[in-house]
Amino acid sequence: MTHHITVEMVNRFGELARIVNLISGRGFNIEKLLIDASDRPDISVAKLSLAGDKSKVEVLVKQIKRQVRVTEARILNESEVESDNFFSAARLNK
Amino acid sequence: MPASIEIEQQKSGARLFCESLVNEGVDTIFGYPGGAVLHIYDELVNFKDSMTHILARHEQGAVHMAEGYAKATGRVGVALVTSGPGATNTVTGLANAYMDSTPLVVVSGQVPTHLIGTDGFQEIDIVGITRSCTKYNYLVQSAEEIPEIMREAFYIAASGRPGPVLIDIPKDLTAQKAAGNLPEKLNIPGYEPHSYSREDLVENAVEKILAARSPIFYVGGGIIHSGGTAELVELVERLSVPVTITLMGLSCFPSAHPNSLGMLGMHGTYAANMAISEADLIVAIGVRFDDRVTGNLKKFAPNAEIIHVDIDESSIDKNVKTHISLIGNAKDVMRQMLDSLSKRSAPARERLGAWWETIDAWKRYAPLSYEPHPDIIRPQFLCEEISRLTDGEAIISTDVGQHQMWLAQYYRFKHPRYFLTSGGLGTMGYGFPAALGAKIAYPHRQVIAFVGDGGFQMTMQELATAVQYRANLKVIVMNNGFLGMVRQWQEVFYNNNYSEVDMQIQPDFVKLAESFGAVGLRADHPAKLGQVLEEGFATDNVVVFDIVVSQEENVYPMVPPGAGLKEMILR
């Protein structure tokens, strides 16, 4: 099953690498990825989709959230995915 | 202010670095110089009055020493190495510290900024390599940043769930001049270590504990990190509950305490594994339900509700589903539990009478045991002798393997932070340098490295370091001429097919010790063992004991891989 995740982190070199490293080190393939600045200049937001067992993805997201400069990490619910331009556009393109 | 004066007031990155160490209260650095850290080593000479640099013989040794120092003192251990191979040699130590939540700051030199990305001499992307085995890591971009990064690194390493932090500093930045102003307050968005847990959840937890008919406390390293031994003992005594302890937590609760069931897990005691399997409530504090503890998860504690206290939210529900999770520092949450208990009438021990009777029967049915031999030293006997002669007053350190498990089973621990072992990563070669780091922190305490003949050969070059600094620790080599734990698995699970586990071509450990200027002593008979150990313990020098033990002894009880905790092989 594909899960859609958002991660907010400090906007600085190396932060995305730590997260991608964590995800790939557990054998998850990132199917979609977008990273951009947020409303706050010091925080960037990553949106990513990956397939995997739900309980394993839940553990993964907690481990992402544990990273020192990650301010938020969570799995989006169905309606949030629908109303998110990136994820819904990604779905249409499939 | 004229620009020239401003520049005069600026300091080199190396100077800012050394001053930062002093500001963090660092008194000891374990390290190894090289090209990329030459400016730092040049400056370090000016700080001899405030800091001692211990010259290791290998960077892995330096990091393990820093770990031993940190584990024994509770303070942040510091290691300093050069770029390239100096940096890559720290990876095992960083990973070990990461798995065992040890606070470290490891500083590596890097090639000058303009050479980064050019495959320069001794260039390696150590920040990239260590991303998955550090709590956090930095590539410094300017000398100006050094004081703030250093302050952050020490704070991150020591707070929350402790862990290692790596700082990679390009060589040119250690010569670059900067004012190095510190901000008044650290600003680390996203980083807020927990302390106390939610009050209502604590109340629920205490009610559950009081209502349970067969509860057990399962405690580990978090008790030691938080300094919560006194709270744990008080809580256990007021509740009259049994306690089982993980390898990483062993020294957090006195082995001789009547409520202790000893270690649980793959080589845990029969009583501990039976009790956790039959419990109706598990109170897990500062533990992470490691696979060596739980055995087959599908068979783990089928009837138990679980209360999990941990500072790391990602440990909750990772392997085992919990019913109440209390996110917080173990000591603080136990204090909350004690406060809650104080508001209630004292629970009577009799409420758990039947449970204790069952536990006592398990204890009688299969206590830890071995067959003594009149002429051969059994490794278990060796552990008992070390325990008897030190009376729990020595800091003791191990590698990984059979010797580690026997020590965990037979040594009577008395004080927290007196047991240093490689639990999560299972690192051969950790025990000796870690003990050396502890001895350097506490020169007047007896410090023992208890290692196997295989593990000792991985880092024994640090004997030179021990002798150089007159760090007169005692190294007990439990010599069975095998990679014992691998041999045991090959015997039990691979039909005696011994494959590459014979270590009988080995140095003469007595002569080896002597060649370093240390003392070597050998014992190969049980009747002489105590006398040899006593002689060495009283010797004012580094001592290496070559203790020849029975070769093909197995560690029991043993839970086979994939089995439930109740499916122990007892003998």
pLDDT at B448 over 70: yes
- Locate the chain B residue with the closest alpha carbon to A60: B314
Query: Can you name the CATH fold of B8-178?
Result: Rossmann fold (3.40.50)
Cβ neighbourhood burial of B185 (10 Å; 0-12, 13-18, 19+): exposed
Give the type of residue at A92. Answer: L
Q: Can you read off the two tokens belonging to residue A55?
A: 């309980």
Q: What is the largest CA-CA distance in chain B?
A: 85
Domains B199-365 and B379-548 in one fold: yes
Average pLDDT over residues B442-451: 98
Pair B161, B330: CB distance under 8 Å:
no
Count of Cβ atoms closer than 10 Å to residue A76 Cβ: 17
CATH of domain B379-548: 3.40.50.970
* Chain B residues within 8 A of A42 when measuring between CB atoms: 189
CA gap B289, B176 in Å, rounded: 48
Do A21 and B132 count as a contact with CB atoms less than 8 A apart? yes
Q: Which residue in A9, A21, A62 is closest to B190 by CB distance? A: A9
Check if CATH label 3.40.50.1220 holds for domain B199-365: yes
* Chain B residues within 8 A of A72 when measuring between CB atoms: 190
CA gap B458, B68 in Å, rounded: 17
**Radius of gyration for the alpha carbons in chain B, expressed in angstroms and rounded:** 25
Distance from CA of A83 to the nearest CA of B (A): 26
Report the pLDDT value the prediction gives residue B8, as an integer from 0 to 100. 62
Q: Which residues of B touch A (CB under 8 A)?
A: 127-128, 131-132, 135-137, 139, 156, 188-191, 312-314, 316-318
User: For residue A85, what pLDDT band results from cuts at 50, 70 and 90?
Assistant: confident
pLDDT at B196 over 80: yes
Report the pLDDT value the prediction gives residue B302, as an integer from 0 to 100. 94
Locus of tokens 């890559």: B88
Report the pLDDT value the prediction gives residue B184, as an integer from 0 to 100. 87
Give all domains of chain A, ordered by start, each with its CATH number: 2-93 (3.30.70.260)
Q: Which residue in B127, B132, B191 is closest to A68 by CB distance? A: B191
The tally of CA atoms less than 13 A away on the side-chain side of residue B103 is 22
Average pLDDT over residues B218-245: 98
Asked if ipTM goes beyond 0.90, one says yes
Do B156 and A25 count as a contact with CB atoms less than 8 A apart? no
Tens-digit pLDDT profile for residues B465-486: 999 999 999 999 999 999 999 9
Distance from CA of B191 to the nearest CA of A (A): 5
Tens-digit pLDDT profile for residues B27-51: 999 999 999 999 999 999 999 999 9
CA gap B482, B151 in Å, rounded: 45
Report the pLDDT value the prediction gives residue B1, as an integer from 0 to 100. 47
Distance from CA of A63 to the nearest CA of B (A): 6
The set of catalytic residues of B is 59, 121-122, 171, 485
Burial B550-559 (b: 16+ CB within 10 A, else e): beebbbbbbb
The pTM (predicted TM-score) of the whole model is 0.96
Per domain, the residue ranges of chain B are: 8-178, 199-365, 379-548
Cβ neighbourhood burial of B442 (10 Å; 0-12, 13-18, 19+): middle
Q: Can you read off the two tokens belonging to residue B234?
A: 């008080």
